[in-house]
Amino acid sequence: MRVVILGGGYAGLICALRLAQRTRGQVAITLVSASPWFVDRIRLHERAAGAELVKRGLAEMVAGKGITLKIGRVTRIDPRGEVLLGDERLSFEQLVVALGSQVDVDAVPGVREHAFTLDAASVGALAERLPAIAARKGRLVVIGGGLTGIEGASELAETHPGLQVTLLSSGALGGELSEAGRAHLRRSLSRLGVTVEQAQVRRLQAGSVELGERSLPFDACLWAGGFIVPEVVRQSGLRVNERGQALVDPFLRALGHENIRVIGDAASVVEPPSFMPMGCKTAMPTGAYVAESLAQLSRGQGSRPFDYLNLAYCISLGRRDGLVQLYREDGSPMRWVFSGRMGAWLKEAICRGVVGTLAAERMGLSFCTWRKTGRKLSPEVPQQGRLAA
């Protein structure tokens, strides 16, 4: 079986390592990534604040595992069995799409030209720019009241106490949290001197944000207005939603394409609809699951459907404060939260655990586990079985 995995992020990497471990040379695995580096995206707000992140090369992370690594940008996916990296063609029998997401810079006019983002290509430039702005008590506007906007605003305000930080959100902050969680969030942002405003952003211009009737000046603007999936997924003809996520069945197969699995941020489970927020906490389980399914398929076996239940949101609020909100099975937040130093410690432990899990996977140890709903869905009929029937 020839398996091509597109994307060397959390989902693609764990998938490649686990599949190599389970099939031990019986399956030809090619991992494709646009970048030769593993990008630990969950720490990019720390990089924006000036931290130097550990550099991990993908070649080193898959060395000796029998995985062929190809560094190149996927320019086209032909679901009939071919992937193009510019002029180069790669054929596949089974394809795993793990192309992740990126900040949506076209959601509002002017963002692409005038804002920084928490993407790998932008955080270094923001980190260079901020110290001088902070030294003259300049203004940073962070747009987006989701978890990335909150983490970004807190981290940058804590590192640069001179900065005047405003966090703009179109809705109420922390809608997914309990009252205790929201109260802690408000206290933390206020302690860090972050001004929170609810407003709809119309457009960005050089040095100002237009908000309907008024505008807000800035020296730097960080756009955290949501993620979309790389356009190449939509262009492949797979069915996608408004964020460009491929629609997948309970076995994470692209609808109508039994030989294409989609994992991580690039996938949205629609049959039956499942709540799977974009996150490395969902990306790693989907990658591990698909590796197991493909290993089973290579042995002519079917697999059980993917089952995931959101356990928690873990939010950093600078280096000394954090918030961990747990959820009940029905999706409602528990009343109490871990916060303050304990929250920061837990969040840091989770971030370390993510790269630790990948390192363990390379050593053949499968530590990636997740909470399940336990709902009953029919198991998969293996393709070979179907053909034989």
- The answer to whether residue 67 forms part of the interface with ligand FAD (CB under 6 A) is no
Extract the tokens encoding 289: 């699951």
Q: Please state whether beta strands 94-97 and 2-6 pair in parallel, antiparallel, or not at all (unpaired).
A: parallel
Footprint (CB under 6 A) of ligand FAD, residues 276-295: 278-281, 283
- The answer to whether residue 232 forms part of the interface with ligand FAD (CB under 6 A) is yes
Least distance between ligand FAD and beta carbon 224 (Å): 8
Residue range at the interface with ligand FAD (CB under 6 A); choices 9-17, 130-138, 289-297, 356-364: 9-17
Ramachandran quadrant class, 127 (left: phi over 0; alpha: psi -120 to 50; beta: rest) = alpha
- The answer to whether residue 116 forms part of the interface with ligand FAD (CB under 6 A) is no
Q: Residue 301 is which amino acid?
A: Q
Query: Which residue is closest to ligand FAD by CB?
Result: 9
Is residue 252 a contact partner of residue 266, using CB atoms and an 8 Å limit?
A: no
Among 1, 2, 28, 35, binds ligand FAD (CB under 6 A): 35
Among 21, 101, 159, 166, binds ligand FAD (CB under 6 A): 101
- What is the rounded distance in angstroms from the CA atom of residue 44 to the CA atom of residue 91? 34
Helix ranges, 218-310 (H)? 231-235, 280-298
- The answer to whether residue 5 forms part of the interface with ligand FAD (CB under 6 A) is no
Residue range at the interface with ligand FAD (CB under 6 A); choices 38-46, 157-165, 171-179, 295-303: 38-46
Residue range at the interface with ligand FAD (CB under 6 A); choices 1-9, 209-217, 236-244, 329-337: 1-9
Q: Residue 15 is which amino acid?
A: C
- The answer to whether residue 185 forms part of the interface with ligand FAD (CB under 6 A) is no
C-alpha dihedral (245, 251, 257, 260), degrees to nearest 10 = 70
- The answer to whether residue 32 forms part of the interface with ligand FAD (CB under 6 A) is yes
- What is the rounded distance in angstroms from the CA atom of residue 362 to the CA atom of residue 76? 29
- Quick one: 13 or 196, whose CB is closer to ligand FAD? 13
Least distance between ligand FAD and beta carbon 11 (Å): 3
Cis-peptide, bond into residue 379, ω within 30° of zero:
no
- The answer to whether residue 148 forms part of the interface with ligand FAD (CB under 6 A) is yes
- Quick one: 156 or 382, whose CB is closer to ligand FAD? 156
- What is the rounded distance in angstroms from the CA atom of residue 379 to the CA atom of residue 389? 17
- The answer to whether residue 74 forms part of the interface with ligand FAD (CB under 6 A) is yes
How many residues touch ligand FAD (CB under 6 A)?
35
Query: How many DSSP H helices and E strands does the chain contain?
Result: 11, 25
Least distance between ligand FAD and beta carbon 225 (Å): 12
- The answer to whether residue 41 forms part of the interface with ligand FAD (CB under 6 A) is yes
Place of tokens 């807190």: 154
Ramachandran quadrant class, 86 (left: phi over 0; alpha: psi -120 to 50; beta: rest) = left
Long-range contacts of 352-361 (CB under 8 A, 24+ apart): 354/10, 354/40, 354/42, 354/280, 354/284, 355/40, 355/54, 355/56, 357/14, 357/284, 358/10, 358/13, 358/14, 358/17, 358/38, 358/61, 361/14, 361/17, 361/18, 361/21
Q: In angstroms, how far is CA 68 from the centroid of its own chain?
A: 24
Least distance between ligand FAD and beta carbon 100 (Å): 2
Residue range at the interface with ligand FAD (CB under 6 A); choices 87-95, 161-169, 177-185, 274-282: 274-282
- The answer to whether residue 84 forms part of the interface with ligand FAD (CB under 6 A) is no
Q: What angle do CA 131, 106, 207 make, to 5 degrees?
A: 40
- Quick one: 13 or 382, whose CB is closer to ligand FAD? 13
Q: What are phi and psi of 140, to 5 degrees?
A: -110, 125
Least distance between ligand FAD and beta carbon 322 (Å): 10
- The answer to whether residue 253 forms part of the interface with ligand FAD (CB under 6 A) is no
- The answer to whether residue 114 forms part of the interface with ligand FAD (CB under 6 A) is no
- The answer to whether residue 257 forms part of the interface with ligand FAD (CB under 6 A) is no
Kind and range of the H or E run holding 37: strand 37-38
- Quick one: 42 or 382, whose CB is closer to ligand FAD? 42
- The answer to whether residue 250 forms part of the interface with ligand FAD (CB under 6 A) is no
The residues that touch ligand FAD, with contacts defined as CB under 6 A, are: 6-12, 32-35, 41-42, 44-45, 73-74, 98-101, 118, 148, 151, 230, 232, 264-266, 278-281, 283, 314
